[in-house]
Structure 1
Amino acid sequence: MGKSQKKRSMRRHNPMRVPDSHLPKGLESAESSSTKKEAIMPIIQKMESPDGAERKWACVAVSNLIQNDPSTRRLLQGKNVVGSLITRLSDSEEEVWIEAAGALRNLCIDGGYDICAEMYNKNILAPLTAFVPKISTALSQFLESPKTAPENAQKVVYEFADNVITILWCLSETSNKALSAINQINLIPFLMSFLASRDKLPISTVTAAAQSLYVLTDDNQAAIDEVRSNAAYNSCLLEIVRSDELAQNGKGKDVSKDRFAMLKVLCCGITGNVSPPPPHSAASTLDVNKDFVLPLLQPVISSVSLDEAAQQVQELVTRQENDPPEIEKLSLKNTPKSDHKSPTQLDLERLEDRLRTVQLALEILTGTCATLPDPVIDTANDDNDDDDELEDENTDMDDDTNEDDMALDDAVPPPTNAKSSSVALLPALVQPLLALIRPTSLSFPPPSSPSAHPPTTSALSAIHISAFECLNNIFLSLSTSPSAELAANEDAGRAVWAEIWASLSKVGLDIARGQERKQEIWEIAVGVLWGIGNIWKGKLVPNEEQVQILINICDSSTDAQVRVKCIGTLECLAQHPDSIDANRVIASYLLSVLPTATAPSTKGTEPTIQALSALIDIYSDERLPYDVNFRNGKFNERLMESVDGVRKAVRAIDRRKERDLKLRGEEVRDNLVAFIKYRRGLRF
């Protein structure tokens, strides 16, 4: 049972802010689906114009054209707009390279990994690296002598810094190669300087710096060590997390509550990334999770109603339809700025920011819950050679076996001590998370009716997935640190189980092109169901439709871990004492997973091991009502037929590559032999 870790794929720019997986591949399809294809060639031509005004116009036009328009973005990509914009970063005219940076930033956020990878491969880091010291110098001058430059000039520098930082943030998530290159730029002092001067700078620029720091300190030891070793950095982060509001002076006067909430959440995430704090620092005596993460993030994930947000977006989109499109305003005489937005667009962005803050909080909580107790596997006696370990494989099946020595119940490993009360976690986190997994009208629009606002759809689906991942970690932690009080609360277990399935029924199983995130939800959800099933094993009444869905997912998935989770969940359902028919259906399916002496399992080695473990666990007590299925179905004979195939499968596991699986396989193999003997020795 694996926990969901923080994943780079869950960041803002990937999944794409404006998803395009529903579109057919290729330039021809992009051209046929773009409503702005006539504007493409003039833009590409003017990008190379000797006239600086035309080059600036072209950069601005790119930003305006790609807004919520994946097909036009693809068409521009096909015309090498990325290469052209990178060239413009070295333009002789300041206004051109400023607008080029804005266009590249928007492409990063809207386009995801593919565009970021293209930028990296086309050496965007060279001009970006040169910009960092220039921005630092300008920033120092403005902070030391604000009157030395007009406010307009300061605004330009701050917006440019925002664009450069955001591009670096997106690139750092593209690949380990890009991250390593960015580590060489020495960005940490640069980024921390924005946080240190947060009360004198625009909140958007400070937040961009915090977002970049959050990404750079995520499982990146070089950045973690640099932040952790600097007491001033730690104090600064601590101050932001603890503060109730940003100083209302200077650039802080226009700070919105939502923007500041995002900044606090990001700093909370950075603090978690670099924990534990260095000795003798202000935070060294604090428990980061207990004192910061949970108290700050619990209110954040409860702060928004997704249904209300979706309704507000629908209303704003309807209002926006009356606004003239930006492309019609484009002209050399009246060039709009790349950051020009109508009041309706700003309202939509504020809503999206609020949703992205919730998503970020969920991502951090998922990482926090991943640090809760894991099962401990005893590997003290694993150093024997394979030949020695398999000496007992030729044991005569008729030998006497002491049933008291049998390890029959190996479904849930021995628990460790929980750091927090497991019961207390339920009301604090689970209920808000259950609200966040429920799809809205904008979460998964059908391909025949594209989203009214793709960025909101992307944010909503990301929230659903992050909430499921967080639930997965919570219930896994609870199941590996059993609480008698929790297990006894059967009504709570059934209620949570019903809530999960109610949300999944709204997600649906009709997964068309462009709806791949539905598939992702189902694959995470089976882990949640397994965790719940383990806590309330034997207390959940199996539903025929739900059982069949789990079987279908197990059959259709090519991911061994998904299959294991499905089998684990089915095992828990099969142990409801009075559900004899459901038990028979599940057991028959689990038996079908097993190999024979001549044919390996079609489901793979790890699912096979899980199915065997499940069958042993289900039928370890012959006094249960459903045991009649084992006897009448002659399951023991089928298990005997699988022994040779199981031995072959376990022998084939490479200890050097899959050590834990090898140990698990050997344990289950031995349990199978002992279990068959035990069952054969029973007299009814």
Structure 2
Amino acid sequence: MVQLSQTVPSVLQRDAVRRLGPLLLDRCAAVRETSAGALRNLSACGGPEVCEDMVRQDILTPLITLLRECCSGFEVNPSPKNSKNTVEDVANEAINLLWNLCENSSRAVSVFNKAGLLDVLVLCLERHEQKVELALSAAHCLHTVTEENAELLRSVSVGVLSALEAVLLSTHTDMQHSLLRTLVAGSLWNLKGSIPAARQAQTLSALVATLSASLDLDAGALIQQLQSAEAERLASEIAVAEGNGAQGLDGLEEEQHQHSANGGEEQMEEEEERVNGGQKGQKDKDFSDLLPKGKQELREAGALLLAQQTSLEVIVNMCCSEDPSDDEWEEASSSDESEVCADGVCEGGSLQSPLCLSAEVHSALIHHSVPQKVLKKAEFPSPAAVDACGRDPSWRSLIKKMQRVQCRALTCLHNILAAMDTEALGGAAGLQTVAQHLASLVFSSSDVLKEEEFLEAVTSALRSLLQIMASKNIPQCMSPQQLMSVCEAATRCDVMSVRVNALAILGITGSTLAKETGSADTLQMIGTALLSVASKDPNLVVCGEALDALFDVFADGAEAESAARSIRLLASLKALQPVFKAKLRKEGKGNYSPEQLCVLDNIKVNLRRFIGYLQTLKN
């Protein structure tokens, strides 16, 4: 019932949380598991407000007791394989509930820290040989609670680190274990401040090797293999059922009905979209373990794609940029950052500075060819795999996940370009190869320029790449007309960051062209486009970016002067100046952050100065 979002309010009104809480400690294992499952689904489908309410109603007290009892029962009552309502099954539902609460409530994270639940997660992780689903749930939860959690860093023991490293070095080849290792790698990166100096190099090497191995996997080919394996398994089961008579066949048909085109996986995908609300700041919630038990191949395929997505996200964090907004799927964190000292070096080690890559991280990423692997993942998903998933309704949700991996790779590429030196990326020839690659993506079809997530990722990467190429005087392989077509599509996008990226691209392109003879006509085209945005866009940040780009394009040179006269730039900016100032005065406070207002104030000052500069040219 509570997997359907419309039922959540009525269930909550009937005091479901207080009624289900005591059942977490019922004597019957089946009651424990199903009550934990109901609360888990309620937390997943109800969203942050419901999670906060559950924490306020003290659901964590019985949940913590349940988890400790489950962990003490792992060795006392080892569960036979394939048995129902095992202690691991109960723990799995409980860990998922804990994960959802901690992902949506800072108070839940605080309780997690005070209750010392890190050891509980480690014990569940260590069960990966017997119950990989439980270990995966624990790894997801660990990846969440270790993020920006200075209080937890102080409680990490050598034993915990050793246990995580042991999981990282496991050799299982299935996709669920690949995802498990990737999540543990991300958790270790979050915990890097607590790793002893003597172990840092070894841990970093194993961590990057894990991420690299995940990106090595050919998702398109593996998904098709898994689909074929599912078809063979179902055919075999039908043959066995037919041999056992009508009763066995009826059972199989019932199972297939549960896995039908309108099964739980599509509903979970819809819930994921609803919970995320289309906002990049929300974390992507994985519902794969809610798939019917028989969908092992689909579960494996989902784990493969999530492992690659997570690997790319961790690499983005490793290639930390000056601009927190560069991270397209993470909101700027407001949590405690006391683990970062004034000089930008983490306590307990020196693996990373927020403004650049350390030598150790840089070396590890290059050694494992991570930039090249990220570039490969930035390609469009395999057409054959997309087609195969499109033909099978229960696999259709994987198409979005494949597209998401590509977008994460593009954002990852953006951060790599911003953090690594040119030579490490193959010098001028290497950067031109990346530019050609991005051009082939953008101009593959007009439809891709309508996808907001793709546009945000590709314009971020293009902006970073073109800025580097301009600073190194490396010739660009895309024509101004091509870039204009990208920017025209981007400036029509509803996502503000896409419009800002597009304007920055025009500014970079124009300032480069201004140094070339015979570029006045193209500069006129760019200037006209920038003026239009600066005067018409409803968002002041976008208007400011357009003005900033104009300052860059027409700052110097005979071609720029000629183009400025042709488009009557001085008169246009004089007319725009009082309008911009008035909008900033009326709309600024309350609508924009202090940082944005500071930038806009600087642009207002620069606009006055630039008008003065243009007037000297006229005279």
Provide TM-score, normalisation by structure 1: 0.64
In structure 1, which of residues 227, 234, 237 is the aligned counterpart of residue 164 of structure 2? 237
- Cα distance in 1 between the residues matched to 2:182 and 2:534: 48
Identify unmatched segments of 5+ residues in structure 1.
1-43, 45-61, 67-72, 246-254, 331-337, 376-414, 513-517, 596-600
- Cα distance in 2 between the residues matched to 1:635 and 1:529: 27
Compared with structure 1, are the counterparts of its residues 425 and 267 closer, same or farther at alpha carbon in structure 2 (3 Å cutoff)?
closer
- Cα distance in 1 between the residues matched to 2:600 and 2:370: 35
Report what 2:568 is aligned to: 634
Report what 1:164 is aligned to: 94
Whether the 8 Å CA contact 1:317–1:453 is kept in 2: the answer is: no
1:299 aligns with 2:213: yes
Describe the SS at the equivalent of 2:408.
helix
Report what 2:441 is aligned to: 503
In structure 1, which of residues 318, 321, 326 is the aligned counterpart of residue 255 of structure 2? 326
Higher deviation after alignment, 256-265 or 78-87: 78-87
Report what 2:376 is aligned to: 435
Report what 2:249 is aligned to: none
Deviation per residue, 1:126-148 (Å, 9 max, x gap): 566425434434533543x568x
Whether the 8 Å CA contact 2:491–2:499 is kept in 1: the answer is: yes
Whether the 8 Å CA contact 2:534–2:542 is kept in 1: the answer is: no
- Cα distance in 1 between the residues matched to 2:105 and 2:445: 31
Per the TM alignment, residue 215 of structure 1 is displaced from its structure 2 partner at its CA by 0.8
Report what 1:250 is aligned to: none
Report what 1:615 is aligned to: 550
Per the TM alignment, residue 276 of structure 1 is displaced from its structure 2 partner at its CA by 1.3
Whether the 8 Å CA contact 2:89–2:134 is kept in 1: the answer is: yes
1:206 aligns with 2:151: no
Compared with structure 1, are the counterparts of its residues 680 and 221 closer, same or farther at alpha carbon in structure 2 (3 Å cutoff)?
same
Q: How does 1:439-454 map to 2 (within 5 A)?
A: 439-441=381-383, 451-454=393-396
Describe the SS at the equivalent of 1:341.
coil
1:363 aligns with 2:322: no
Compared with structure 1, are the counterparts of its residues 583 and 160 closer, same or farther at alpha carbon in structure 2 (3 Å cutoff)?
same
Whether the 8 Å CA contact 1:533–1:572 is kept in 2: the answer is: yes
Compared with structure 1, are the counterparts of its residues 224 and 657 closer, same or farther at alpha carbon in structure 2 (3 Å cutoff)?
farther
Describe the SS at the equivalent of 2:200.
coil
Per the TM alignment, residue 531 of structure 1 is displaced from its structure 2 partner at its CA by 0.8
Describe the SS at the equivalent of 1:541.
coil
Whether the 8 Å CA contact 1:534–1:572 is kept in 2: the answer is: yes
Whether the 8 Å CA contact 1:135–1:161 is kept in 2: the answer is: yes
Compared with structure 1, are the counterparts of its residues 326 and 492 closer, same or farther at alpha carbon in structure 2 (3 Å cutoff)?
same
Deviation per residue, 1:442-476 (Å, 9 max, x gap): 89889998855144234323322322221232233
Whether the 8 Å CA contact 1:372–1:477 is kept in 2: the answer is: no
Compared with structure 1, are the counterparts of its residues 284 and 113 closer, same or farther at alpha carbon in structure 2 (3 Å cutoff)?
farther
Report what 2:358 is aligned to: 419
Compared with structure 1, are the counterparts of its residues 567 and 146 closer, same or farther at alpha carbon in structure 2 (3 Å cutoff)?
same
Whether the 8 Å CA contact 1:89–1:97 is kept in 2: the answer is: no
Q: Percent identity?
A: 17
Provide TM-score, normalisation by structure 2: 0.70
Greater relative contact order (CA < 8 Å, ≥ 6 in sequence): 1
Describe the SS at the equivalent of 2:192.
coil
Report what 2:496 is aligned to: 560
CA RMSD across the alignment? 4.6
Per the TM alignment, residue 300 of structure 1 is displaced from its structure 2 partner at its CA by 1.8
Q: More helix by proportion, 1 or 2?
A: 2
Compared with structure 1, are the counterparts of its residues 429 and 460 closer, same or farther at alpha carbon in structure 2 (3 Å cutoff)?
same
Whether the 8 Å CA contact 2:95–2:141 is kept in 1: the answer is: yes
Deviation per residue, 1:509-543 (Å, 9 max, x gap): 4799xxxxx32222232211211121123624335
Whether the 8 Å CA contact 1:541–1:573 is kept in 2: the answer is: no
- Cα distance in 1 between the residues matched to 2:198 and 2:302: 35
Whether the 8 Å CA contact 1:593–1:611 is kept in 2: the answer is: yes
Compared with structure 1, are the counterparts of its residues 101 and 258 closer, same or farther at alpha carbon in structure 2 (3 Å cutoff)?
farther
Describe the SS at the equivalent of 2:62.
helix
Whether the 8 Å CA contact 1:542–1:582 is kept in 2: the answer is: no
Compared with structure 1, are the counterparts of its residues 114 and 508 closer, same or farther at alpha carbon in structure 2 (3 Å cutoff)?
farther
Describe the SS at the equivalent of 1:286.
helix
Whether the 8 Å CA contact 1:563–1:607 is kept in 2: the answer is: yes
Whether the 8 Å CA contact 2:319–2:357 is kept in 1: the answer is: no
Deviation per residue, 1:37-61 (Å, 9 max, x gap): xxxxxxx8xxxxxxxxxxxxxxxxx
Report what 2:225 is aligned to: 312
Describe the SS at the equivalent of 1:219.
coil
- Cα distance in 2 between the residues matched to 1:613 and 1:363: 31
Question: For residue 419 of structure 2, what is the amino acid of its counterpart?
Answer: S
Per the TM alignment, residue 206 of structure 1 is displaced from its structure 2 partner at its CA by 2.6
Report what 1:492 is aligned to: 430
Whether the 8 Å CA contact 2:486–2:502 is kept in 1: the answer is: no
Q: How does 1:110-509 map to 2 (within 5 A)?
A: 112-114=44-46, 118=50, 121=53, 129-143=61-75, 156-176=86-106, 179=109, 186-195=116-125, 197-198=126-127, 201-227=130-156, 230-241=157-168, 243-245=169-171, 256-277=173-194, 281=196, 283=197, 286=200, 291-302=205-216, 304-312=217-225, 314-315=227-228, 324-326=253-255, 341-342=293-294, 345-370=295-320, 419-420=358-359, 428-437=369-378, 438-441=380-383, 451-478=393-420, 483=422, 489=428, 491-504=429-442, 509=447
Compared with structure 1, are the counterparts of its residues 461 and 328 closer, same or farther at alpha carbon in structure 2 (3 Å cutoff)?
closer
- Cα distance in 2 between the residues matched to 1:483 and 1:289: 27
Per the TM alignment, residue 213 of structure 1 is displaced from its structure 2 partner at its CA by 1.2
Deviation per residue, 1:329-359 (Å, 9 max, x gap): 99xxxxxxx99734xx222222222222112
Question: For residue 362 of structure 1, what is the amino acid of its counterpart?
Answer: L
Question: For residue 403 of structure 2, what is the amino acid of its counterpart?
Answer: S
- Cα distance in 1 between the residues matched to 2:459 and 2:54: 41
Compared with structure 1, are the counterparts of its residues 113 and 569 closer, same or farther at alpha carbon in structure 2 (3 Å cutoff)?
farther
Compared with structure 1, are the counterparts of its residues 84 and 594 closer, same or farther at alpha carbon in structure 2 (3 Å cutoff)?
closer
Compared with structure 1, are the counterparts of its residues 156 and 447 closer, same or farther at alpha carbon in structure 2 (3 Å cutoff)?
closer
Question: For residue 544 of structure 2, what is the amino acid of its counterpart?
Answer: I
- Cα distance in 2 between the residues matched to 1:212 and 1:416: 28
Compared with structure 1, are the counterparts of its residues 373 and 448 closer, same or farther at alpha carbon in structure 2 (3 Å cutoff)?
closer
Whether the 8 Å CA contact 2:548–2:603 is kept in 1: the answer is: yes
- Cα distance in 2 between the residues matched to 1:191 and 1:181: 14
Identify unmatched segments of 5+ residues in structure 2.
239-251, 260-289, 326-353
Q: How does 1:25-36 map to 2 (within 5 A)?
A: none
Describe the SS at the equivalent of 1:594.
helix
Compared with structure 1, are the counterparts of its residues 138 and 483 closer, same or farther at alpha carbon in structure 2 (3 Å cutoff)?
closer
Question: For residue 221 of structure 2, what is the amino acid of its counterpart?
Answer: E
Compared with structure 1, are the counterparts of its residues 606 and 206 closer, same or farther at alpha carbon in structure 2 (3 Å cutoff)?
same
Whether the 8 Å CA contact 1:191–1:210 is kept in 2: the answer is: yes
Q: How does 1:55-134 map to 2 (within 5 A)?
A: 73=4, 80=11, 94-101=28-35, 103-104=37-38, 107=41, 112-114=44-46, 118=50, 121=53, 129-134=61-66
Per the TM alignment, residue 159 of structure 1 is displaced from its structure 2 partner at its CA by 1.9
Aligned length: 530
- Cα distance in 1 between the residues matched to 2:423 and 2:556: 21
